[in-house]
Amino acid sequence: MRVSPDGFANRNIPEASKRFLIEAGLPKSAAPYLSFTDLADSLRPVWEIWGNPDDWNEADRLRLSRYYVIGSDGNSGNPICIDEADGGNIVTLEHEDWFASVMFVNSSVPQLAEFLLLFNGADTEQQIVVELEQVDSDALKEGCFWRYELDAGVDV
């Protein structure tokens, strides 16, 4: 799933992430149960994808204006977003608490893509942890998405 160059209008996204999403894109789906079909041609805010337009008041829109949806976690249904206000970090937003809880996923879109490739191609969990650590050590810290997935025993 790729984004057209026009899909970044008025978005403060790091150049490396823009370039990656324009040129390479992300897969429609990938382990562990991730989907990137929300990334249809442009980066859209949470309120354009989740719920009805009437569900969102101005305070919600302002609070969530920094997040642009690129996909979702199929296990929980939480959106995967680029955090424009935090240097383009990739995060998930917890839909059960109306997107108040944020979990770090990766430091950038290219690092997310590398994690997806490694996660789907590693022979052992020990091997994958070593390789993932080299790509984005922050993503393996306690309380982060990938640490949670590894601790939950997701097959690699």
User: Are the CB atoms for 39 and 7 separated by under 8 Å?
Assistant: no
User: Are the CB atoms for 146 and 140 separated by under 8 Å?
Assistant: yes
Domain-wise residue ranges, the chain:
5-151
Please choose, from the candidates 95, 115, 120, 119, the residue with its C-alpha nearest in 3D space to the C-alpha of residue 105.
115
How far, in Å, CA of 114 to CA of 106, rounded?
Answer: 10
Structure tokens at 60: 């919600």
Q: Each residue's pLDDT tens digit in the chain (156 positions)? A: 999 999 898 899 999 999 999 999 999 999 889 999 888 778 999 999 888 878 899 999 999 999 999 999 987 889 999 999 999 999 999 999 999 999 999 999 999 999 999 887 766 778 888 999 999 999 999 999 999 988 887 654
Residue 60 neighbours by CB under 8 Å, 6+ apart:
47, 98, 99
